Chain A
Amino acid sequence: MSAPQFSSMPYTPTQHAAAHSPGLWALAWRRLRADRLAMAALAVVVAALLMVALSASGLIVSDWEDEVGVNYAPPGFVGAQSDAERGPVSGAAVSAAPAPAPVNVFDPIADDIAGLKAQAGADDAPLDMYGVSDPLAGDLAKLRAGLAKSGHHAAGARLQTLPFGADKWGHDILKKTIKGGETSIVVGLVAALLAVVLGTLFGAYAGYYGGLVDDFFNWFYSVFTAIPSVLMILTVAAVLQQKGVTTIVLILGLTGWTGPFRLMRAEYIKHKAREYVMAADAIGASHWRRMYSHIFPNVSHVALVQMSILVVGFIKAEVILSFLGFGVPVGVVSWGSMLNESQNELILGKWWQLTAASVAMAVLVTAFSLFTDALRDALDPKVK
């Protein structure tokens, strides 16, 4: 594999004997460099990976669980909200009810609800922001007063606004998004690596040996592709019964090997009869050595492109799995678990967690997809 700087080496006739044409990787790098969009995408991906490395090693955002802001502290550019806007979890008693939601003309129980609301309004019990009477309000207020007197006045020290807002517990959304990104990206990378390693291993055996071995792996492939991948993932999730980052990696990795398998098998069939492999056979290289020392470097670009395609798919899949509650366990934050929380927050008008998680994910996935497209074009100029 030649180094990238090879691309700038001028060609001189005297070098003729020693000079060889730039290799696949040098050529690909030269093509990538010419593509400005791809380079911008690569910069975003590298920055994200750097952030993941820093956050995984605990250098940044290790304190994301500190409750630095008030509950649901809004982003700085929105401005601080009054206690009434912030909701019932805040310290002070709330008197003003928010503007009622617009009437949904399709709501079949609208009349009943209106009746109930009128009844609740007539009641003289203290009302919270939802217009629901809270029988514990008096007790809670007494408790809070007691806490304040004894010096446990944590809420007072908290910030009213944060640059990107805070969640239900007052965690900084920016830090939480970075930490969540760490989980989602690591899951995507490791699962894609597992899937590509499995696919390459199987594909190499099937393509290289052919015959019965090939038949067996093809049968295995047809079995796995007969079940749609979404269903396969959910089935394995149902069977494994336990949540955890390792579990998601296994689910995605063990079900995702079919794509790399198909392509790697085709590559090995193409390469096994080439002269360099026969030459390796002639000097006595073992099957294993021919498959992985001789052929693999020549087909590894296919594996790389497959892996980056899978990373994008797996990041999206992890988000959905965690959202549904089949993914990361309670206490671990990922973009999926953030979206899960934000679904309820949105109804209260707290849009910042939803925005942060979805924008972060969209930016990373867009950059990764654009880079993958460019990488595929650069590594395989025939396909366009």
Chain B
Amino acid sequence: MLAYILRRLWQMVPTMLGVVLLVFILFNWVGGDPAYVLAGKMANADNIANIRHQLGVDRPYYVQLWIFIQQIATFDFGQSWATGETVSHIIVTRIGPSLTVLIPLTILETCFGIALALAISFVRGSLTDRLVMIACTVGMSVSILVYIIVFQYGLAYKLGLFPVQGWGDSFGENLLRYAPLPILIGLAVSIAPTLRLFRSFVLDEASQDYVRTARAKGLSEGRIMWVHVLRNAAIPIITYVMSNLPALLIGAFLLERFFGIPGIGREVILAVERSDFPVIKAITVYVAVATMVFNLLTDLLYQAVDPRVSLK
């Protein structure tokens, strides 16, 4: 087990170096000289030379790359170009609000997804099944922007059931007062794709031999679905939920932007708007690390769920 983890961590090294190299190339060459971006539109040659020196972009590329790797390892990306806040402080303080919305959302989405998928698999192949699937396709076709605009306008602005936007200081206030509407919208947006996917996972299992055996020995359909099928369908479901988590951290950026939630996603949008390169670089690198670590955790969870899987 330990040997497996160590080997997987070792295998991450080339990928991680690739991510570092990709980010480095993007920000140093593809976008042109970062000094021009930072200097703005009213720069003169002196300014640019100064900034180039400050940023270190006048040094050889291998030195710059080495500095970048040091920055990643020491969590020290310097200061945001836009606000002067240190990048590490930005990341640490923005994770909390993001998770306040995302953890309840993920839990609710997974529970609803599983319950509905199992319920719909009772009537698989029927007209109801087909209609629900078409409704899911239609639901997925409406832009997430429309969900947010309409729900925010209708439920918060018109009916006043929720605050239109905002974020407080205490965790309880945020969770109970400001988070419910974003969570509700997130649920409305994600339930259709989740249900479609989970249904296919469940149906893959429902045609297996062990299900027929269970039926033959007279188990109730409910017990077959909730105990036997669910246990086996759990593996792809766990993969999906786990591997989606890091992407969700960024993916909820529209919710955070509309509702003024000071999370990681909104920070990325702000950084893109302000060309705040240090912040984007840092978030990209660390989210890539998180993605790889979560993939490893997913594989470790397999073993816990499915005794047939042995990790070597």
Chain A residues within CB distance 8 Å of chain B: 37, 101-107, 219-220, 222-232, 234-241, 316, 319-320, 323-326, 335-336, 339, 342-343, 346-347, 354, 358, 361-366, 369-370, 373
CB proximity of A108 to chain B, nearest CB, Å: 8
* Interface pair B160/A240, CB less than 8 Å apart: no
Number of interface residues of B (CB under 8 A): 57
Nearest CB in chain A to that of B18: its residue: A223
Contacting A at CB under 8 A, from B253-312, are 253-254, 257, 268-269, 271-273, 275, 277, 280, 283-284, 287-288, 291-292
* Interface pair A366/B153, CB less than 8 Å apart: no
Say yes or no: A104-B272 contact (C-beta < 8 A), given A228-B291, A231-B287.
no
Say yes or no: A358-B287 contact (C-beta < 8 A), given A219-B18, A226-B15, A238-B271.
no
27 examples of A-B residue contacts, CB within 8 angstroms: A102-B160, A103-B160, A219-B14, A223-B15, A225-B291, A226-B16, A226-B18, A226-B19, A226-B292, A227-B287, A227-B288, A228-B291, A229-B247, A230-B251, A231-B250, A235-B272, A235-B284, A238-B31, A238-B277, A238-B280, A239-B27, A241-B37, A320-B145, A347-B157, A361-B142, A362-B143, A370-B137
CB proximity of A105 to chain B, nearest CB, Å: 6
CB proximity of A338 to chain B, nearest CB, Å: 10
* Interface pair B142/A358, CB less than 8 Å apart: yes
Interfacial chain A residues near B162, Cβ < 8 Å: 106
Q: Kindly count the residue-residue contacts between A and B in the assembled complex, taking CB atoms under 8 Å apart.
A: 145
Besides the known contacts A107-B163, A237-B272, 11 further A-B residue pairs in the complex with CB atoms under 8 A apart: A101-B157, A102-B158, A102-B159, A104-B157, A228-B250, A231-B250, A231-B268, A234-B280, A241-B37, A324-B269, A370-B134
The 6 closest A-B pairs by CB, nearest first: A223-B18, A228-B247, A365-B141, A239-B31, A106-B163, A366-B141
- Asked if B99 is an interface residue, CB under 8 A from chain A, the answer is no
Nearest CB in chain A to that of B245: its residue: A228
A237–B277 CA distance with the chains assembled, in angstroms: 12
CB proximity of A146 to chain B, nearest CB, Å: 38
Nearest CB in chain B to that of A37: its residue: B134
Interfacial chain B residues near A362, Cβ < 8 Å: 138, 141-143, 146
* Interface pair A316/B26, CB less than 8 Å apart: no
- Which of B18, B32, B144, B251 sits near A228, CB closer than 8 Å? B251
- Asked if B52 is an interface residue, CB under 8 A from chain A, the answer is no
- Which of A223, A230, A365, A366 sits near B253, CB closer than 8 Å? A230
Interface of B is mostly: helix
* Interface pair B146/A339, CB less than 8 Å apart: yes
Q: Mark B12-38, 1 if CB is under 8 A from A, else 0.
A: 001110110011001100111000010
A231–B257 CA distance with the chains assembled, in angstroms: 15
A325–B274 CA distance with the chains assembled, in angstroms: 12
Interfacial chain B residues near A235, Cβ < 8 Å: 23, 26, 272, 280, 284
Nearest CB in chain A to that of B277: its residue: A238
Interfacial chain B residues near A365, Cβ < 8 Å: 140-141
* Interface pair B145/A223, CB less than 8 Å apart: no
A187–B153 CA distance with the chains assembled, in angstroms: 29
Say yes or no: A326-B272 contact (C-beta < 8 A), given A231-B250, A362-B138, A362-B142.
yes
- Which of A102, A220, A239, A354 sits near B30, CB closer than 8 Å? A239
- Asked if B149 is an interface residue, CB under 8 A from chain A, the answer is yes
Nearest CB in chain B to that of A335: its residue: B143
A104–B160 CA distance with the chains assembled, in angstroms: 5
* Interface pair A320/B144, CB less than 8 Å apart: yes
CB proximity of B87 to chain A, nearest CB, Å: 15
Say yes or no: A226-B288 contact (C-beta < 8 A), given A106-B162, A320-B143, A346-B149.
yes
- Asked if B228 is an interface residue, CB under 8 A from chain A, the answer is no
- Asked if B72 is an interface residue, CB under 8 A from chain A, the answer is no
A310–B297 CA distance with the chains assembled, in angstroms: 29
Nearest CB in chain B to that of A103: its residue: B160
Interfacial chain B residues near A320, Cβ < 8 Å: 143-145, 254
* Interface pair B146/A234, CB less than 8 Å apart: no
CB proximity of B240 to chain A, nearest CB, Å: 14
* Interface pair B19/A227, CB less than 8 Å apart: yes
Interfacial chain A residues near B287, Cβ < 8 Å: 227-228, 231
* Interface pair B143/A316, CB less than 8 Å apart: yes
